[in-house]
Structure 1
Amino acid sequence: MSRFPFRFGVNQFTTQPWSFEEDVTRYAALGVDAIEICEAKLDPARAGEQMRAARAAGLEISAVQPQIRTFFGSKMAPQPEGTEERVAAFARSLKTLAPYAEGAAFVMNTGAPPDGNMQRCLDETVHHLRRLAPLAADLGVKIAIEPLNPTSINVETAIWTIDQALDLLDAVGHDSCGLCLDYWNIWQQPDCVAAIHRAAGRTVAVQASDWRTPCSGMDRLVPGSGSIPLGALLHATAQAGFDGVCTLEIFSSGVADSLYECDLNEVITQGREGLHRAWSAAEMRNDT
């Protein structure tokens, strides 16, 4: 039986109740390989110091979630309202954080289409990515387009499938832009495994959690405790050539059984174990 092919990372949204410093100390103590930085957790006055501390603790910085990661307004970050201001904010995040995160993926999506105008949202997203892609390349990082679950349409995003994200990447036409593959967001799209294969060579970030019908906009489960066929998706991702970090990304608030109220050390440990079990179970099924 083959070993789990990805390094294990944790996104800081998963441990929202902890401080940045607690994240670094506890991830390292738990043997986590990589950290996905959430800029909202950084202290602007000492962001560089904090980023260096994560590296010094032995954590790879695999990805960054910028404070403003959509070019149009979104429920999670409605301000500033102006598109140019939001593009400028994303560019500042690149310039500020990329020097401490060489090779990392800066995750983004479109934001909510203004007045429901998806075409305008897509066209302008392509335009702005063409402007930002050379900057990312010069800084030695990637920009990762993340299609979101249909629950977020017209709230956070104008795209919700892998193929829509690939169309955007084709329109941008720059090697510094790739795909962020979040299984919670895309697992219900038709023929998801085939779509992952179509993204071969273009996936630059992978995120995992598990699904139940959401009771809030932030209701995700530990891998292996929900409905997502994680094993099949993990195998498809590996077969498509991705060999980087698989990151645990869990949002859990506004629900009675919020994981943020649990022992977050256990959430991380169970998340890693759930991913490994899903990989092994799918491999056994493939061998029979």
Structure 2
Amino acid sequence: MTSASSASSTIAASALGRLSLNQKTTNAWTLPEAVEGCVRAGIPAIGVWREPLHEFGLAKARALLDDAGLRVSSLCRGGFLTATDAAARRAALDDNRAAIDEAAALGTDTLVMVVGGLPEGSRDLIGARARVAEAIAELAPFAGDRGVRLALEPMHPIFAADRGVLSTLGQALDLAEQFPSDQVAVVIDTFHVWWDPEVEAQIARAAGRIAAFQVCDWITPLPADTLLSRGMMGDGHIDFARLRRVVQDAGYVGDVEVEIFNADVWAADPDQVLRQMKHRYLECVWDGEMQVSP
């Protein structure tokens, strides 16, 4: 083996050691099936979703993950904090406290927060953002006491009405910086931030507060259901290697989650999806660091 190929292999092994499967990428699999799939594929970490977690059971899930030797890169999701009704607000806070406890029980310090869109019939975007801030202020100390960070996920503006009223990384940091970094942090999801002309400066600003780095591509034309418009890396328009380098320069050395919502990906054989995911992760996210063979 030449010195160049040896160095490339070392980089690939190191990169794959940071790869995480977000459960949504293999949406047809149960939690046990996803865990088994990761083990078969040699993927060392998994991002868990609460719904399949509840179906399987929290204690059983922790034992399953421990037996498989998998890290839990994140728990998804908390949030949805924009309700105006007092009872709905209390219910949302209670659900988020439960999610924080679940994250701690799974051994992850990252609870991904999709903060919520406008309440039905509302056009008060400023008020919705203010209610998110109030709720985070109430939840942050509770999370910190349990060793969990509330990881605010800014979402592309097309989702501001129904999913996330924090639309840029800068907005998410404006809120996160009001709290200790061990309580409130941010998620950098390439799908949501790639378009932002300020993204590199904001990633640098986020140093010490990056709780998760998620990757998937922006594909066009957008499908009718824009929620399912995430593509496999390399199928769209995002310069992953550039963003990965900026995130790395900001000091982030944690897992890199592949999170894809896409009807065609979900319909494919999940084991084949994982094989393609590993190859594209090396080829696209780590492009320029190594030569990747198909």
Structure 1 and Structure 2 fold alike (TM over 0.5)? yes
Q: Report the 3-state secondary structure (helix = DSSP H, G, I; strand = E; otherwise coil) of the residue aligned with 2:112.
A: strand
2:238 equivalent to 1:233: no
Q: Please tell me whether the aligned partners of residues 72 and 112 of structure 1 are also in contact (alpha carbons under 8 angstroms).
A: yes
Q: Tell me how far 1:174 sits from its aligned partner.
A: 5.2
* Displacement after TM superposition at 1:280 (Å): 4.1
Who is 2:154 aligned against? 147
Q: Which residue of 2 aligns with 1:76?
A: none
| CA displacement at 1:38 relative to structure 2 | 0.2
Question: Which of 34, 40, 53 in structure 2 is aligned with 1:29?
Answer: 40
* Aligned position for 2:3: none
TM-score by length of 2: 0.86
Cα shift readout 1:72-102 (whole Å, capped 9, x = no counterpart) = 36xxxxxx9812211111111212341222x
Distance 2:278 2:235 in 1: 12
Q: Hey, what's the Cα distance between the residues in 2 that align with 1:181 and 1:132?
A: 21
What SS class does the counterpart of residue 87 from structure 1 fall into? helix
* 1:43 to partner: Cα distance: 3.4
Say which of 201, 211, 231 aligns to 1:204: 211
5 Å-filtered alignment, 1:159-174, equals 159-173=166-180
Q: Is contact 2:118–2:125 with CA below 8 Å preserved after alignment? A: yes
- Maintained 8 Å contact 1:91/1:132: yes
Native 8 Å contact 2:181 2:208 kept in 1: no
Work out which of the residue numbers 110, 118, 139 in structure 2 matches 1:105. 110
TM-score, normalised on structure 1?
Answer: 0.87
Distance, in Å, in 1 between the alignment partners of 2:237 and 2:154 is 19
2:276 paired residue among 250, 270, 280: 270
Q: Indicate if the aligned counterparts of 1:14 and 1:249 stay in contact, CA closer than 8 A.
A: yes
Identity of aligned residues (%): 26
CA-CA distance at 1:210 after TM superposition: 0.8
CA deviation vs aligned residue, 1:42-70 (integer Å, no higher than 9, x gap): 2357222112211220110110013x532
1:249 aligns with 2:263: no
Distance 1:262-1:169 versus aligned 2 partners, 3 A rule: same
* Structure 1 residues 125 and 280: CA distance shift in structure 2, 3 A: closer
Q: Deviations over 1:107-134 (max 9, x none)?
A: 0132113312222222221221122111
Residue aligning to 2:4: none
The alpha-carbon deviation at position 275 of structure 1 amounts to 2.1
Which secondary structure state, in structure 2, belongs to the residue aligned with residue 90 of structure 1?
A: helix
Amino acid at match of 1:87: L
| Cα displacement string for residues 18-56 of structure 1 (whole angstroms, at most 9, x for unaligned residues) | 111101111111111111110111235722211221122
Q: Distance in 2 between matches of 1:202 and 1:260?
A: 31
Give the conservation status (yes or no) of the 8 Å contact 2:103–2:148.
no
Q: Which moved more, 1:21-30 or 1:194-203?
A: 194-203
What letter corresponds to residue 62 of structure 1 in structure 2? S
- Alpha-carbon distance in structure 2 between the residues aligned to 1:205 and 1:65: 11
1:91 to 97, 115, 130: 97
State yes or no: 1:189 paired with 2:196: yes
The two structures, once aligned, show a CA RMSD in angstroms of 2.1
Structure 2 Cα separation of the partners of residues 33 and 104 of structure 1? 17
| Paired residues, number | 272
In 2: Cα distance, 1:112 partner to 1:261 partner: 29
> Structure 1 192/48 Cα, relative in aligned 2: closer, same or farther at 3 Å?
same
Whether contact under 8 Å (1:113, 1:120) holds in the other structure is no
Q: Distance in 2 between matches of 1:173 and 1:96?
A: 21
My pick for the range that moved more, 13-22 or 2-11, is: 2-11
